[in-house]
């Protein structure tokens, strides 16, 4: 979501879900049985840096476990998610709240990159997806998945198609009654039919898995 751009309205999101159904009628059931997608509908209060740090902590963890570790981490840094603050803590202090060695390294690298201005956080709201991805994935420990989740859920970008996400693929398979696993490359090509609102399609794929 760019600065100066109002959050998406429910009316606009419903028009997007109608476009999804027009492009692929298989989505009628999951859209009808799910709440309205809320990507881009709320302004985020957390800083870009804080969101990325918490995303790193949450990688490959169950939701409850990730929330618990992030809670401990927040207490450790006195809820001051700033690179200069995090760098005052020794690696063993960060590990003491349940953060793995690899994640400690990733958080440290991100903090250093932020201080050295190698990550242009101030311009993220105006930057296109591919340039944000290019900047973030240069940092050790931040890959495509983390960047895609950041673009979708923090920046509210509607045009992200995270085919590398297992939940998206499983949801697509369920929606389309597929008996075999769909290849990410094949699914990537199908995203062309939803140009401009692939993030919303992904959101409903996740819902299909949960339903």
CB 86 within 8 A of CB 77: yes
Active site residue 165: yes
CA 147, distance to chain mean position in Å, is 6
CB 191 within 8 A of CB 201: yes
Secondary structure of 38-63 in the HEC alphabet? Answer: CCCCCCCCCCHHHHHHHHHHHCCCCH
Which among 131, 106, 119 is positioned nearest to 55, based on CA atoms? Answer: 106
Catalytic position from the list 165, 177, 188, 210: 165
Q: What residues act catalytically?
A: 165
């Amino acid at each position: 979501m760019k600065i100066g751009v109002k959050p998406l309205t429910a009316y606009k999101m419903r028009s997007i879900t109608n476009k999804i159904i027009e492009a692929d009628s298989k989505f009628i059931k999951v859209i009808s049985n799910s709440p309205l997608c809320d990507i881009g509908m709320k302004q985020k209060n957390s800083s870009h840096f804080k969101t990325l740090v918490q995303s790193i902590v949450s990688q490959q963890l169950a939701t409850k476990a990730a929330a618990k570790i992030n809670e401990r981490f927040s207490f450790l840094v006195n809820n001051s998610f700033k690179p200069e603050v995090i760098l005052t803590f020794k690696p063993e202090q960060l590990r003491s709240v349940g953060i793995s060695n690899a994640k400690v390294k990733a958080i440290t690298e991100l903090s250093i990159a932020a201080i050295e201005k190698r990550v242009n956080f101030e311009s993220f709201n105006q930057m296109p997806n591919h340039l944000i991805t290019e900047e973030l994935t240069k940092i050790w420990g931040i890959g495509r998945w983390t960047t895609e989740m950041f673009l979708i859920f923090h920046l509210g970008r509607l045009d992200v198609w995270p085919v590398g996400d297992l939940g998206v693929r499983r949801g697509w398979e369920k929606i389309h009654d597929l008996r075999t696993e769909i290849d990410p490359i094949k699914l990537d090509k199908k995203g062309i039919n939803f140009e401009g609102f692939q993030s919303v399609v992904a959101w409903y794929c996740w819902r299909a898995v949960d339903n």
